[in-house]
Amino acid sequence: PQPARLSRLNEPGELIVVDQVGLLAALYGAGDMAYVGGGFGRAGLHSVLEPAAWSAPVAFGPRWRESRDAHLLIDAGGASAVNAEDPEQASAQLAEIWARWLTETETRREIGRRARESIDRELGASDRTVDLIEGAVGQTGSGSRMHSTSPDQRGTTTPS
């Protein structure tokens, strides 16, 4: 299928390139898989967790190693990275990844499930970190415990 830019879209198509800011998080739920940009340039990889939250398998470019979230998905088997820097080779690698995901429906769904499960395992990480810090503070004899605050109470804490 020929790609169509969302900004110029006159009618629905099979392959839509989203070229507008602020829409992707919701649009990932309508797709079967996702390519996340930023993996070829210096700016850094965009959010790989947004499509993963929709159980979409994720593909991205070779400059992903500084992204903790990309590591999370790769390690879980919920994503694939294009390793080539050369545009022609990168296009060929991405085409291979997508061809597999398009023709092997169960494989695509399994990779998407792994992506989502990797996020689910991370839920509650902030609470576990606070518990760890509170435990460490308690061992130092401080006797004071800190509690999470709502965004409108930033900068304030409530001692227990």
Q: For residue 75, give every residue at least 6 positions away whose Cβ sits within 8 Å of its Cβ, in sequence order, or none.
A: 118
The average pLDDT across 15-28 equals: 84
Residue with tokens 């590591």: 71
Categorize the per-residue pLDDT at 156 as very low, low, confident or very high, splitting at 50, 70 and 90: very low
User: pLDDT, tens digit, for every residue of 69-128?
Assistant: 999 999 999 999 999 989 999 999 999 999 999 999 999 999 999 999 999 988 877 777
The count of other CB atoms within 10 Å of the CB of residue 57 is 28
The count of other CB atoms within 10 Å of the CB of residue 51 is 30
C-alpha to C-alpha distance for 127 and 158, rounded to whole angstroms: 16
C-alpha to C-alpha distance for 58 and 60, rounded to whole angstroms: 7
Q: Could you tell me what percent of the chain has a pLDDT over 70?
A: 86
* Domains recognised in the chain with CATH numbers: 4-122 (3.40.50.2000), 124-160 (no CATH)
Give the residue from 70, 75, 59, 78 showing the smallest Cα distance to 116: 78
